[in-house]
Structure 1
Amino acid sequence: MEAVVNDFVSNLWLYLSMPVISGVVGYVTNVIAIKMMFQPLEFVGKPPFLGWQGIIPRRAAKMAAISVETITTHLITQEEIFSRLDADKVANALEPALNGMIEEIVDQVMLEYEPKLWESLPEMVKRQIYKRVKRDAPKLINDIMNQLKINISQMYDLEDMVVTNLSRDKALLNKIFQEVGAAEFRFIGRSGLYFGLLFGLLQMGVWLFFQQGWLLPAFGLLVGYATNAIALQMIFNPKELMRIGPFNIQGLFMKRQNEVASDYGRLVSSYVLTPSNIIEGILKGPYADKVFDMIGRHVQRAVDEQTNLAKPFVTFAVGTQTYRDMKSSAVKRLIQRLPATLKHIEDYADEALDLEHTLSTRLQSLKPSEFEGMLRPAFEQDEWILIAVGAVLGLCVGVFQLTFMFG
């Protein structure tokens, strides 16, 4: 025993360096593991194996699909989203933009097909035509909105919209996972330090009595492996609150459910389920052709209703085919202007949908097993790689200790 004490005193700083180095190894390996989850956004190196891409960016489509499943299964459906939009209020929000657009489209179509007839009409007659078209515009919008709601499953794909936006914007996908799990990622780094110190103290005690060369690399590997693995377990387990004596024990992520719900609701409503993205999903999604066909039918019908009494005279004056071409031209011009025009309803839609509040409150009420799915997929896809990297780095540090410090 005296020899052990003398050895400890003689090599005090070397022995004290063990828990310090072990703590640093635990912290650094865990921080590197977190960085590897998110960076780089694109593959760096020589594909497919010599290089690296962040786990979440590499699996962007799958991560986005998991996010969609959480949203549509537990939080809100596309039917509910569109049911919150009042057709009359949409018409009111669009009215200023529509009024100017209607005059421009009427002028353009008439000047293209019947310039002499249109130029010869008195201004008062033109004003009456504008006025009548504007008067019936709200009914047209109402009809289109109602038709869209009735056939929403054939006209819109919420899942496609979310997956498309998150898959193409990997930085946004990273941002959502990073902000939702910010506390958990900080914990992983700190826990590496704490557990590393504990393992280092154990390593120091073992080395005092049993100085075998393989111990240092073995402990380095153990620290790198265990600090990552233990931290991941502590984040998600136990799922349900457990009482052990005076202590309440629950996974860190589960314990923060209300806070996470608030952050998630803010992020998704601000960057993913935004009115502009929803509108883009209508106009550019997989069912866009059906939407435009439906709008076209309604606009052409509206034109026929406008000219109902005068239609025989109009077709006599310009010809049946020219009349049809004029209707088609009006539809095309209207559809071309739709993306810019629909921006005028974004403020109303944001208020009416109230998605931040809806997503947050419903997420707060999820069961722990359902709530786990918010963040767990970010780890479980390739968490073995992160743990293995930690173990290898720890092993390298152990070899360094053996070679240069205790050789």
Structure 2
Amino acid sequence: MNDVIGMSLLAAAIADFKAKFWLYLSIPVTSGLVGYVTNVIAIKMMFYPLHFVGIPPYLGWQGIIPRKAGKMAAIACDTLVPQLISEREIFDRLDPARVASEIEKPLLDLVEDLMEEIMREYEPTLWETLPLRVRNLIIRRVQDDAPEVVAQVMNDLREQVDTVFDLKDMVTTTLLREPALINAVFQETGREEFKFIGRSGFYFGLLFGIFQMIGWMFYKADWQLPLFGLVVGWATNYLALEMIFRPHEPRRIGPLTIQGLFFKRQKEISRDYGRLIADRIVTPSNIIESVLKGPFADRVFSMIAKHVKRTIDEQSGIARPFIAWTIGTKRYVAMKEAAVSRIVARLPQAVRAVDRYAKDAMDISQTLAQRLEALPPAEFESMLRPAFKEDEWMLIAVGAALGFCVGIAQVIAFGLLAVAPSL
């Protein structure tokens, strides 16, 4: 009896399948498209929009990574310092004399402009009274010592780098200042993995859709399609992520060799990561700005002030007693303080001439690439995956929610087709 009922159900299902062939065929195709689209949209929602769109705090959306930029920046810092590179290693690669030589011309122009500016501001009558030869002599003497002062400051920085430069603070500040930059860290290093998530979504969705189609042949319930949509959206993202990060080592399964895409691309990812960090984050300009304006700025200011004030005192020569006597010692000290402050303020622009040399000497890109590439797979994952793993569950959840919504749309569409003429 059961066999007869089973055969009858099978015959009815086959007849219905033949009668509505294209409708049934649309189920796995739609499922594949759902898998692809939900994966792609979920990835986009991780990065965009950069800023909150909607009515804060809850009615709207901001990309997951930009929204948690502070935490993401901290994770990115943990992959850099001190495991891969340190502040001391960066500065030890710079030759103080070479730095002074590279910035000599803009530094001489800066000294001349500042001397004229300070003297005309603080004591214009006195400066105009001095013979031109004496004024030029003062400026030239300070200029002559400027490269040596730069070299001395660089030596002091190298010796005290741990107390004047915070690499983690610099990286965090840079990433928080530019939300698009923290997106770029993930997008560029994981571009192939994100493409894979999208493509695999279609194939996994197609496979799940075949089972969905078979189930729909024998049992039609309104909850079935939304449930399958949710499962497809969840499973395609989950499986794609597993295939990216598992297994660590190549593993043979029959004629195939399987390895997580992330580890298969370790050399390429290491190179991209190193280049991105060197070109856009740990740059000479950012380092100089951090040293001069970062958490230890007061110490750096004092260090520069010590050398600049001494040089001004030493090189004022025959004019110094006259200046001090004419304008008073306090006024003279105030002028030196103003000179130091303005030198520190304008130094970042003046030292841009050293960017090319510093970038080559520090060799951040190659250093990071080589050290990442040499890591065992487990350590490589622990260095970079936390940046991805922090919100992987959201990627999966968004895919599931979108799949569920598409499933509801399928129910509505199939309901409308059911009342239309048979296909």
* Shared fold, TM over 0.5: yes
Query: 1:185 — aligned with what?
Result: 194
Alpha-carbon distance between aligned partners in 1 of 2:68 and 2:311, rounded to the nearest angstrom: 47
Which of 203, 206, 218 aligns to 2:212? It is 203
Whether 1:69 and 2:53 are equivalent positions in the alignment is no
Alpha-carbon distance between aligned partners in 1 of 2:116 and 2:394, rounded to the nearest angstrom: 65
Q: Answer whether contact 1:161 1:277 (CA < 8 A) is retained.
A: yes
Deviation at 1:262, TM superposition (A): 1.5
Query: 2:7 — aligned with what?
Result: none
Q: Answer whether contact 2:112 2:139 (CA < 8 A) is retained.
A: yes
Which of 390, 395, 402 aligns to 1:393? It is 402
Alignment of 1:264-343 (within 5 A): 264-307=273-316, 315-316=324-325, 318-343=327-352
Q: Taking structure 1 as reference, are residues 116 and 384 closer, same or farther at Cα in structure 2, changes over 3 Å only? A: closer
The share of aligned pairs that are identical, in percent, is 55
For normalisation by structure 1, the TM-score amounts to 0.92
Look up the equivalent residue of 1:220 and give its one-letter code. G
Alignment of 1:2-401 (within 5 A): 2-113=11-122, 115=124, 117-307=126-316, 315-316=324-325, 318-373=327-382, 376-401=385-410
Partner SS for 1:396: helix
Alpha-carbon distance between aligned partners in 1 of 2:332 and 2:170, rounded to the nearest angstrom: 37
Alpha-carbon distance between aligned partners in 1 of 2:15 and 2:269, rounded to the nearest angstrom: 53
Look up the equivalent residue of 2:70 and give its one-letter code. A
Partner SS for 2:249: coil
Partner SS for 1:243: strand
Q: Taking structure 1 as reference, are residues 233 and 121 closer, same or farther at Cα in structure 2, changes over 3 Å only? A: same
Partner SS for 1:393: helix
Look up the equivalent residue of 1:292 and give its one-letter code. F
Once the two structures are superposed, residues 198-225 of structure 1 have per-residue CA deviations (whole angstroms, 9 ceiling, x without a partner) of: 1111122233344455433332222121
Q: Answer whether contact 1:38 1:57 (CA < 8 A) is retained.
A: yes
Partner SS for 1:301: helix
Deviation at 1:31, TM superposition (A): 1.1
List runs of 5+ in structure 1 lacking aligned partners: none
Alpha-carbon distance between aligned partners in 1 of 2:90 and 2:272, rounded to the nearest angstrom: 20
Deviation at 1:18, TM superposition (A): 1.3
Root-mean-square deviation (CA, aligned residues, Å) is 2.4
Once the two structures are superposed, residues 143-192 of structure 1 have per-residue CA deviations (whole angstroms, 9 ceiling, x without a partner) of: 11111111112111111111111112111111221111111111111111
Q: Answer whether contact 1:217 1:398 (CA < 8 A) is retained.
A: yes
Partner SS for 2:303: helix
Look up the equivalent residue of 1:240 and give its one-letter code. E
Partner SS for 1:9: helix
Alpha-carbon distance between aligned partners in 1 of 2:120 and 2:402, rounded to the nearest angstrom: 75
Look up the equivalent residue of 2:364 and give its one-letter code. L
Alpha-carbon distance between aligned partners in 2 of 1:68 and 1:60, rounded to the nearest angstrom: 12
Q: Answer whether contact 2:32 2:206 (CA < 8 A) is retained.
A: yes
List runs of 5+ in structure 2 lacking aligned partners: 1-9, 419-423
Once the two structures are superposed, residues 250-284 of structure 1 have per-residue CA deviations (whole angstroms, 9 ceiling, x without a partner) of: 11111111111111122111111111111111121
Alpha-carbon distance between aligned partners in 1 of 2:117 and 2:23, rounded to the nearest angstrom: 86
Once the two structures are superposed, residues 216-243 of structure 1 have per-residue CA deviations (whole angstroms, 9 ceiling, x without a partner) of: 3332222121111111111111123323
Once the two structures are superposed, residues 40-90 of structure 1 have per-residue CA deviations (whole angstroms, 9 ceiling, x without a partner) of: 111222333222211100110111111111111332111111111111011
Alpha-carbon distance between aligned partners in 1 of 2:328 and 2:50, rounded to the nearest angstrom: 59
Q: Answer whether contact 1:177 1:375 (CA < 8 A) is retained.
A: no
Q: Answer whether contact 1:181 1:375 (CA < 8 A) is retained.
A: no
Once the two structures are superposed, residues 330-357 of structure 1 have per-residue CA deviations (whole angstroms, 9 ceiling, x without a partner) of: 3233223322212222222122222222
